[in-house]
A and B are shown apart, each in its own frame.
Chain A
Amino acid sequence: SLSTVIHRTQVWFHGRIMREDAHKMMIQQGQVDGLFLLRDSQSNPKAFVLTLCHHQKIKHFQILPCEEDGQVFFSLDDGATKFTDLIHLVEFYQLNRGVLPCKLKHPCTAVAL
């Protein structure tokens, strides 16, 4: 459905890159607080990962899908906060810290590795 692919057009979404490549990109872009990207999970084909930089550390948060009344939601805090698509999730965490160490501030865009 649209909600499971709509994020693919966003500059912060990098698809099937490896964790190591996400690290390299964050380092190349200066590891500033709030630098972030989203990518497909390597371990769970239905899940995604938010990679976020805070205090020079690179952290990874799994974004899991959950289904409720036939509707798919995405959540990174076990369903306490959930969204119909990843664009809404990113918009929310640009405005709210929630369970994250800091808000999402700077999308990590594609760079040649």
Chain B
Amino acid sequence: QISGLQTDEEDNRILKVKVIAGIGLAKKDILGASDPYTRMSLYDPVTGEIACLQTKTIKKTLDPKWNEEFFFRVSVTRFTLSTFQNTRDDFLGQADIPLNQIPTENPNTERPYTFKDFLLHPRSHKSRVKGHLRLKMTYLPKNSGSEEEAADHSEDNDPGWELLESQDISGPRQSQ
């Protein structure tokens, strides 16, 4: 069961991260504005970095608005998410996000404004950072894909699974 290798079934969730904005980022350019982007890294403390991705770059601002959404399959108790604010040449701050206190999204009553502002931290004594990173994070309800595909249960159509009795649903998760 290679697909079960990383994490236990119970622990495995789909995390939705909306990178909303940077607020009051540090000035790095003499001209006063930077071209910031956010980089996100998913870590497993045992095996190290698993995935790394970044938002688009927003030109000439210290208050960038990205409004980009990403989905990750994560182990809630094991993984950590680190975010880094950068310009092409400069580090603007970082925030480490624990994954164990994030609410699960209710598909019927989405609350659009439940964001959180994370204080940006330096990574060494030389870093001069300020400002916040505004994120909205929720887990998708269990047994659902990403939201726009809620009706598309392609894996459930696997004939091998149709034969199972309902009490076996908590068995091994469907292979990827």
Contacts and interface: CB of A to CB of B under 8 A. Distances in A.
Interface of A: 6, 9-12, 71, 73, 80-84, 87-88, 90-92, 94-96, 98, 103, 105-107
B143 to A, nearest CB: 15
Interface of A, helix, strand, loop or mixed by DSSP: mixed
Interface in B144-165: 145-146, 149, 152, 154
A87 B6 CA distance: 11
Given A92-B72, A95-B146, A96-B71, A83 B2 contact: no
Interface of B, helix, strand, loop or mixed by DSSP: strand
A14 to B, nearest CB: 15
Nearest to B47: A84
A105 B149 CA distance: 10
11 contacts: A9-B2, A71-B49, A81-B51, A81-B53, A83-B52, A84-B51, A92-B72, A92-B73, A95-B73, A96-B146, A103-B146
A6 B2 contact: yes
A110 to B, nearest CB: 14
A83 B50 contact: yes
A95 B74 CA distance: 12
A12 B154 CA distance: 14
Contacts of A103: 146, 149
List the 10 shortest-distance A-B pairs measured between CB atoms, nearest first: A95-B71, A81-B53, A9-B2, A83-B51, A91-B73, A95-B146, A82-B52, A84-B50, A96-B71, A88-B51
Contacts of A107: 176
A97 B44 CA distance: 23
A87 B73 CA distance: 11
Contact of B49 (A80, A84, A96): A84
A92 B47 CA distance: 18
A83 B52 CA distance: 7
Contacts of B2: 6, 9-10, 87
A103 B49 CA distance: 23
Contacts of B54: 80-81
